[in-house]
Homo-oligomer: A and B are copies of this chain.
Amino acid sequence: MTLTQLKVFVLVARLGSLKQAATALGVSEPAVSQALTALRQSLGDQLLTRTPTGMELTSAGQRVVSIASQMVHLAEDAEAAVRQSQGAPDLLRIVATSTIGHAVAPALLQSFTARVGHVEATLGITETAEMAALLHERLADVALGPAVPNAARDGLSCEPLMRYRIAFVASVKHRLTRMSETRVRQLTDERWLVDPEGSDPSSPVGEVLEQLGVTPERITVFANQSTACAAAVEGTGIAPVVEHLWQREASSSRLRKLNVVDFTAERFWYVSALAGDRRRPLVAKLQRYLVTPDAMHAMHQADGGIPRSKFKPPIYVTLWS
């Protein structure tokens, strides 16, 4: 598998004809044909088959063409990135869990970059299980989320960043909100409305659901906690939320917190990075910033939105797809 082979394949797929691809590339037609056969051999699939109307993608070809096209574009991106990096700002790549990434991180990062200047921050959303690997692969500089297991042994630093409380909220119409107190095991058979982080088994909420023995079919995943709360208003289930973020939510007036007496709600968000000398200076700067009052303030706010000129959508990051 070669980048030029992939380039050829993508072009043929797009044009639906081997000959057109050849003229588009300015080479002879057998050149294209051979590139294609080489790719076919190395991948072990026809990828494109002849039909009366043109070349058509096989089932595998459909999948490969997406991947191949990404790779071709990434190759161009790499060259562009180098060109634009002469005297370019340092890059700070943060990954966070869904909750932090949506509710807290954008404003936090914007405030940080505004303070230190000449820094470009990118935000990725990922599952907690991948955070350590992403740091080790140098695909991320800092991870925000639950504690990374065995951090010290793996050469990672992992410091508590901030305390928060998990709350279980449900509609005022929900029968459990009418009870003065609840016990954890009463929650098992409820319907659960979670954000993507809640569907991550090694996140705090995911762990709770697992300990309760909640079956997957009782869990419904929403794009974020706001939407999950909006659904909870209907009375259809229980939404686990970050208490201080939820209190600023619009829908909180029609939801009520369950008083679960045998549940310890305290949790911590942690900040993880490579430890000691392997840590980049910019990362140290961020870590120092994160304990300032400014940062604390940003973290206690729900999503305040960010100016259009600064807006970049978060990217979902995954190592193994």
Our pick among B82, B89, B305, B319 for the contact of A220 (Cβ within 8 Å) is: B305
Report chain B residues within 8 Å CB of A78: 1, 43, 63-64, 67-68, 71
Contact between A60 and B77 (Cβ–Cβ < 8 Å)? no
Report chain B residues within 8 Å CB of A136: 14
Report chain B residues within 8 Å CB of A85: 45, 58-60, 63
Report chain B residues within 8 Å CB of A43: 78-79, 82
Contact between B75 and A91 (Cβ–Cβ < 8 Å)? no
Our pick among B60, B75, B308 for the contact of A219 (Cβ within 8 Å) is: B308
Task: Give the total of A residues in contact with B, Cβ under 8 Å.
Answer: 95
Report chain B residues within 8 Å CB of A30: none
Q: Which of A146-154, A176-184, A222-230, A262-270 contacts B (4 or more CB under 8 A)?
A: A222-230
Copies in the complex: 2
Our pick among B64, B230, B309 for the contact of A217 (Cβ within 8 Å) is: B309
A residues adjacent to B (C-beta < 8 A): 1-3, 10, 13-14, 16, 43-45, 53-54, 57-60, 62-71, 73-75, 77-79, 81-83, 85-91, 93, 98, 102, 106, 125, 136-139, 193-194, 196, 199, 216-217, 219-224, 226-231, 233, 248-251, 253-255, 277-278, 302-309, 311, 313-316, 319-321
